[in-house]
Structure 1
Amino acid sequence: MTDGPGTESILVAENLAAHRFEISSDGRLAGFTRYSAVAPDLYEFFHTEIDPSVEGRGLGTQLISAAVDSVAARGISVLPTCPFVRAYLHKHPEKAGLVPLADRRRFGL
């Protein structure tokens, strides 16, 4: 997505082979969130990294938002063992339903 001259181009894509969603800024990998398919309809998000050179620009939030939206669209539930993913779900309670009901208390949702 590009908004005009001098605007950063951001892309989030799933890398199936690496079991992660990646965010790129102007064509350069800026971060990722890793998951494990616990079951066909349940992904555990366990680690997120954002390149320190791009921290503070909201890329982590954009990454997690796109990742959870993508799995939700496929009917996949989420176990947010990654603190960043868990914090995102706390800030966006409308998406907390992605966590199975039996696991919500464990994650404080």
Structure 2
Amino acid sequence: MNEDNTVIRNEERNRYEITVDGDVAGFIDFREGEGYMDFVHTEVKENFSGQGLAGQLTKGAVSDAVSTGAMVKPTCTYVAKWFQKHPEFREYVAD
């Protein structure tokens, strides 16, 4: 990840955001359940596409979610595919 790219949890908007040089470049919307977070939609702005930001965002969001003890429900198709490509995180997928 570029050092200027930051993944933050935006509580007000129920989403994780990735910023590039201070601009929000993409986000993952989530819903919280008991013991899990449901990642429902991932989006990267068109002018930031092709830079690997969705993967960086997903890794950061998953890492933050599991650091709180939550499992991740990958409703979003991008997040589901990301888990398939990253078996080291599969133990955090909610049933």
Q: TM-score of the superposition, structure 1-length normalised?
A: 0.82
The corresponding residue for 2:28 is 33
Name which structure has the greater RCO, CA cutoff 8 Å, separation 6+: 2
Structure 2 residue runs without a partner (length 5+): none
**Separation (CA, whole Å) in 2 of partners of 1:11 and 1:82:** 21
CA shift for structure 1 position 2:
6.2
Aligned to 1:57: 51
5+ residue gaps, structure 1, are 4-8, 104-109
Q: How many pairs align? A: 95
SS in 1 for 2:91: helix
SS in 2 for 1:81: coil
Q: Percent identity?
A: 36
Change (3 A) 1:52 1:2: closer
The one-letter amino acid of 1:59's match is: L
Partner of 2:63: 69
Q: CA deviation at 1:17?
A: 1.1
Amino acid corresponding to residue 74 of structure 1 in structure 2: T
Computed over aligned residues only, the root mean square deviation of the Cα atoms, in angstroms, reads: 1.4
1:18 maps to a residue whose letter is R
Partner of 2:10: 15
Compared CA separation, residues 80 and 2, structure 1 to 2 (3 A): closer
**What's the TM-score, normalizing by structure 2?**
0.94
Partner of 1:106: none
